[in-house]
Structure 1
Amino acid sequence: MAWKFGGIYLKNDFGGDPVLALNRLGIDKRFTDERVRFSTVIDSTFEPTAIGIVGSVTLVHDNRLPYNHSYEADTVYPADERLLLLSHEVESLVFYLDGITDSYGLAHFQGGRRVRHFSMQRGDLIVQEGEMTTIHTSSVEAQLLDWLQAFTGLSFTQLVLDDHPIMYVFTETGF
């Protein structure tokens, strides 16, 4: 199956407040009072931003958000700089999976540094920096899902199968 989704995962529960998580990331969105299942937010057609706080981890999903980050060696964008600064307090991971174009990216921030950095575009490896423990899987998608599970301690399969609407929905602020 070809996945197409992305987001930022943070090792912090922000006191159960998804708005605080958005503020710390510098994302200006409006809370909608709507909640959806995790399986809904990983659908390639899901357009809003969704935040779920599960245990001590905050899951921020937005299919456009990861493209504000750099997936090239020795390049840092303003969105990366925010995560570098935040990572002094909160370990974070930004990622995208696009199985349709065979393109993937992941950047792991901790202690004010980008400690892991991986990207592949159209099947070609662009960058692989830091400790990239190889997980023996059948595909890059499966390996990225394993890395996300290792980072969060949460089972991706269980999140997908969960019938409870654990994700809060946010939309653009407008004018």
Structure 2
Amino acid sequence: MAQVCLLDSDRLSLLLKDAISWSSHVSSVMVSSSNGSILAYAYRDATPSIKRMRTQSTTMTAAYTVASEDVLVFEAQNMGATSVIAPIADHVLLAVTGPEPKLANGETISEGSSHNREEEEDEEEEEDSEAQQQIRTDLEVVSQELAHILRGELSTLKWPDDI
């Protein structure tokens, strides 16, 4: 009789926590099934409530299921953060998520002519665009590296269909 192997949850947790340190732009990593069930997760900051994690998982897996992309770059409306979602096995998805957009800090643009304010706003938009592109690039790199590692781990497992 063939042996059924299970992924070591402690090893998976350590791997996900380690992956967060690969880039300062990664705020969370989640492995979930395509029905939204959370299989493993790691967060850079405090772990959110289970309700918020379920919302995040369900939102991302639903978006991936609807999309016809192999790897999906997705901005969740409920949190505004960019995520890269990639398959790592049949019905198992990896989501690498960046930071949520920062809220306005209450500072106002210095008084001056409307022309100066428009120039400042254009410069800020350009800086934001460059920063967002760097975040996306970092998330894609971490996602690719972590997906490769996880696929290797999962390829050694025996699934019930193989028994």
TM over 0.5: no
Higher helix share: 2
Structure-2-length-normalised TM-score: 0.29
Larger Rg: 2
* TM-score normalised by structure 1 residue count: 0.27
Greater per-residue strand proportion: 1
